[in-house]
A and B are shown apart, each in its own frame.
Chain A
Amino acid sequence: MLLELKNIFKWVNSGGQRVFLLKDINLEVEEGEFISVMGPSGSGKSTLLNVIGMLDTFDEGEYNFLDESVHTLKEKHRSNLYKEYIGFVFQSYHLLDDLTVQENLEMPLLYKKFKGFERKAMVADMLDRFNIVGKKDLFPAQLSGGQQQLVGVARALIANPKLILADEPTGNLNSQQSEEIMELFKKLNQEDGVTIIQVTHSEKNAAYGSRIINLLDGRKI
C-alpha cells in the first residue's frame, strides 16, 4: 500500500463556528493506481489533494504514507518525505516565469541536492522523453498552454516520484491538448508504474483512471 487516510477531518474556524473542509475521509491507495477525484467546485478536492501531498495539515485522523505516519512526523521529516516521493501538477502550470524550460526542470533537482552531472543527465533525459528538446531555452511565456503543462508534468516527474498529484491539470487546455496530457498520464501509469491522483471535472478524463472518488461538501460519497 502506498498511502492510507483514516478518518481525516479538516476544519477552519469562521465566526466562532467550525467549517469543515474535509469530513471523515477514508482512503487507501495502492501503488500503481490511477485515481480521479471528482465533485462540484468547493467540495474539497484541492484540499484533499494538498493533504495527501503534505502541503496542508489536517486536524484529526491518521495518514500513513509508505511506512511513515505522516500525522506524527516533524515538519522537516515530512518535507523530506514529499520531496522524495511526490510530484505536483497544477491547473495553471505554475512554472517559474524567469527561468527557461531547462532551468525549470532543473530546479527541483537543485533543491533535492542532486549533483551537477546527475542534474544534467536527468534534465536531458526528460527533455528527450517529452519531445521538448527544441524548447529547452524558451521561457514559459513563449510556449502554448499545452506545452507549458507538458513542462509542468516533466518537472513533477523529474526526480522519479512514486506519486503524481494533479489538480485539474487540463483545466486550462483545449480538448486536443487535454487528450495529450491524459495519454501521457496513462502511459506513465501503465508503463512506468507511477501512481496518479488527479482532480478533474471531465467524465472523459476521469475515465482514464482506474477508480473515481466523488466528493461533496468535504465528504466522500
Chain B
Amino acid sequence: MSPILGVVKDYHFQDLDKAIEPITFYMTKDLPLTYAYVKVGSTNMANSFEAVERAYRKLEPNADFLGSFLDENVDRTFRREKSMALLITSGALIAIILSCIGLFAMSILVVTQRTKEIGIRKVIGASVANITFILTKDFLILVLLAFLIASPIAWWFLKQWLENYEYRIGLSWVFFATAGVLAVAIAFLTIGTRTIKAALANPVKSLRDE
C-alpha cells in the first residue's frame, strides 16, 4: 500500500470512441520503467527535447531514446476524425458551389423568360420588392423543399454516426435551423443579383411594341 499523492481530471487515454475508464498511476521501484513523462516549458521546445534526451542517455546509455510530445500523440488519435471532417466539408463545399452555378443559370433563364411579364406588372403598379418576391419565391420554395427532404435523412445519419462515440453532443434543432437559414441565404445571394436587377429594369424597354 502506498499513499495517494494526487487525483487528475478525467481524460482520454484511449481512442475517442472508448469510454474513459479508471486508471491508476503507480510510483514503484519494483516495476520496470516503460514511460517517463516530463513536463517542459512551452518556450524553445526543441532545446527542451534535446536536454531530456541527453539526460536519458546519461542515465540509460544502452537503451534507445523514443521521445515524443504527448500533445502530438493525442492529436494522432484525432486524425481519423479530422480527415473525415475535411473530406465531408470539401465534398459539401463542392456540392454547394455546383448547385449555386445551376441555380444561377436557372435564375438567368427564368428572368429572361419573364421579362415581358415583369414589365407588365411594373406598369400596373408592382414595386421592386413585389417583383423580386415573385421571382425569388419559386426558388425559395425549391430550397425549402430540399431542406424538408434532407433534414430527416441528415438527422438519421448524424445520430448513427454519433452513436460511435461514448461522449457526444446531442442533436439540437438549432443545427438544422441554422443549416436551413444558411441554405436560403446562399440561394438568395445566388439568384438575388439577377432578380433584383430584373425588378429594377425600366419596363419601357421590355414592353416596346415591335
Chain A positions near chain B (C-beta within 8 angstroms) = 46, 50, 55-56, 79, 83, 88, 90-92, 94-97, 107-108, 111-112, 155, 159, 167-168, 171
Contacts and interface: CB of A to CB of B under 8 A. Distances in A.
B179 to A, nearest CB: 34
B117 A171 contact: no
Contacts of A50: 204
Given A108-B125, A111-B130, A167 B209 contact: yes
A111 B202 CA distance: 18
Nearest to A76: B127
Contacts, number: 44
B125 A171 contact: no
9 smallest CB-CB distances across A and B, nearest first, come from: A111-B125, A108-B124, A91-B209, A83-B125, A94-B120, A56-B204, A111-B126, A50-B204, A55-B204
Contact of B125 (A92, A97, A112, A167): A112
B208 A96 contact: no
B202 A96 contact: no
A92 B207 CA distance: 9
A107 B124 contact: yes
A107 B123 contact: no
Contact of A55 (B116, B121, B203): B203
Contacts of B121: 96, 107, 111
B113 to A, nearest CB: 12
Interface in B101-131: 116-117, 119-121, 123-127, 130
Given A55-B123, A94-B119, A111-B130, 5 more contacts: A56-B202, A56-B204, A95-B120, A108-B124, A112-B125
A46 B125 contact: no
9 contacts: A55-B204, A94-B123, A95-B120, A97-B117, A108-B124, A108-B125, A112-B125, A168-B209, A171-B209
